[in-house]
Chain A
């Protein structure tokens, strides 16, 4: 969304009809509105918010929200039905042009100022088309949830950089980058009115047995959803506990009394992890050998019996067969022996050859005897090899178990030692650590339980799917219903995979952007990190000297930010997000609307608490956001901000607010020097109103 023009009429202190044209030129994307305190900056910000979102959009710091019509105009009105406050906003979004108009009559203001008239027109092929659902359309273009990231009072945004607002940040990311649409699509497909209905259709067309399985499938799906939620909650708790534990560990490292013990503990915990991994691998290997090769150990008696039988047959001369029955048959059929004698029927010679048939065997029998001999030999050898392998691996497993036990004992001793220290802080930190470790263990156990349950249900679901598939009857309707059901399930699974991929890919990109921009603005020493669960952290490196060895160790620790630093962090986050949304809008995706988009940043007094960071913000924010609109007082503008903005040559449009009224705030100036212009911004008079005046850029 790029704002083109704002027209305000009798809104708060703006009397009559006035307008601001915003700069839309990409490399001159800054519109500046100079205004002294009390002259109408906040009212101007609220005019935009009221235009888009009505009463719900008005900022918390706007006093008397129910009085929106210029008070002088309202007091003089003779016809409350034709006196009104009106805001018109012209903007473009994804190349489409819009015109929005919101109006509140004096008559309505007296009844209920929250009820307003809203018209939204979209220009299609040169023809204005009125939207049937303007409110919903605006929400689709720029959801209310992201408005506080785009239209804000710069002095009140520092809360975004606070840990407890991670959910707000996650939601803003998902909304601004279009991921909420994917999530909503998944929910739609899995809804009872879609998936449930298709299942009901399938059940109606199939046998009782299949109907029961389909019912069970629905119950298993519910179980999977339920356990999925449990898993998600558990993971969040686990992440939070891990973070708390890491903080306590860092503090213990910094504590003089506990420093060495904590470092030793860190080392031991790494060893412990290594031993646990090796123990798991060794036990697995042991199980594998038992499952695959241990039969040889228990086959001793069978092998012995086999040997006895073979030896007996061999002693009796039955194996291997010394003469083949196929050879004797050939002689008998040809009636001639290899010694050239005739083997006539009934002759003594023929009888002698026939006698040999009792001892004869065939070639296959000979081969089988050879294979049996060979197999018995291999089983005997295998048994010995398996015995040796099992002994060796079990020995290794016992050794690792002993090492692990020793490490765990030392870890327990470290905990006791720190608890026993006189140092109050170390004592308390260790107590907290013990509590957190126990909690972490409980949560990990819970995680394993959740995973097993989910795996069990997923296996059952897959099993049911196969069972249902197996008993699908030949009725065409049933097959069609099954295909539809499968298509819906497959579609929702694919959407889930795409959502996971998008979320996974976007976080590191955003993280890198935030860090890069943060370093540019804040300078050396600190860096920004967006954690896996989208918590915004500012980190620094701390050199800690070792009291014994004089060695210096470098630790990474989270910075406790001042209000100004939090404000910069929040600004950098918003600008990075807006920049990423713009970049993302240029990437092809599976459907229009799934991408991000261009969004403006409209900032009221953004330089208030920034002190030394003002130049960085003035220089870099306009480089990141496609459009920047700044309402600024002379005290915040003059000096670094003015210099940086002038240097950047990004100012495309420039206005100032001139105030007419009986008196002004003590810190407000009557005359302003803006560039080469000297303008009068205060006119003393009885009636109170503000004028919007354009300056040449």
Chain B
């Protein structure tokens, strides 16, 4: 028998995040994913264009 690993406690920031409407949560995830891919590049002209597209896709 092996003891089950306890589920990690919810963090305050996750609770705060979960309180937001789904539209906002999805937008934040999309923005952070875009930023994560390019955050160390010196030039990154597409990021703002991509974020705008996410905004227009998610908020109708």
Contact = CB atoms under 8 A, between A and B. Distances in A.
Nearest to B60: A480
Contacts of A480: 59-60
B50 to A, nearest CB: 10
Given A136-B41, A490-B24, A181 B11 contact: no
A609 B57 CA distance: 59
A524 interface: no
B29 A591 contact: yes
A181 B37 CA distance: 10
B14 A590 contact: yes
B24 A180 contact: no
B12 A505 contact: yes
Contacts of B56: 484
A588 B8 contact: yes
A589 B32 contact: no
Contact of B41 (A133, A181, A188, A191): A133
A185 B37 CA distance: 12
Could you say which of A495, A588, A590, A593 has the most chain B C-beta atoms within 10 Å of its C-beta? A590
Interface string B1-44: 00000001011111011001001110111011111111111000
Contacts of A191: 48
B16 A498 contact: yes
Nearest to A189: B31
Given A189-B31, A487-B58, A140 B23 contact: no
Contact of A136 (B14, B38, B51): B38
Could you say which of A181, A488, A490, A491 has the most chain B C-beta atoms within 10 Å of its C-beta? A491
Contacts of A586: 8
Contacts of B24: 487, 490-491, 494
A487 B20 CA distance: 11
A152 B48 CA distance: 37
A554 interface: no
A184 B41 CA distance: 12
Contact of B16 (A133, A136, A483, A497): A497
A189 B51 contact: yes
Interface in A500-539: 501-502, 505
Contacts of A347: none
Contacts of B55: 194, 198, 484, 487-488
Could you say which of B13, B47, B52, B58 has the most chain A C-beta atoms within 10 Å of its C-beta? B13
B47 A490 contact: no
The contact size tier of chain B is: 35 or more
Contacts of A180: 39
Interface residues of A, number: 39
Contact of A185 (B12, B17, B35): B35
B59 A181 contact: no
A590 B41 contact: no
A483 B39 CA distance: 27
Contact of A591 (B33, B49, B59): B33
A501 B12 contact: yes
Contacts of A140: 36-37, 39-40
Could you say which of B28, B37, B38 has the most chain A C-beta atoms within 10 Å of its C-beta? B28
A487 B48 contact: no
Interface string A281-306: 00000000000000000000000000
A587 B51 contact: no
B12 A483 contact: no
B16 A188 contact: no
A60 B7 CA distance: 45
A193 interface: yes
B28 A491 contact: yes
Interface in A171-214: 180-182, 184-185, 188-189, 191, 193-194, 197-198
A188 B47 CA distance: 8
Contacts of B27: 487-488, 491
A490 B47 CA distance: 19
A389 interface: no
19 contacts: A140-B37, A140-B40, A143-B40, A181-B36, A185-B35, A188-B34, A188-B48, A193-B52, A194-B55, A197-B52, A480-B60, A487-B27, A494-B20, A494-B24, A587-B11, A589-B11, A589-B14, A591-B33, A593-B32
Interface of B: 8, 10-14, 16-17, 20, 23-25, 27-29, 31-41, 47-49, 51-52, 55-56, 58-60
Given A181-B35, A490-B20, A591-B28, 9 more contacts: A140-B37, A193-B48, A193-B49, A194-B48, A487-B59, A491-B27, A494-B20, A494-B28, A589-B13
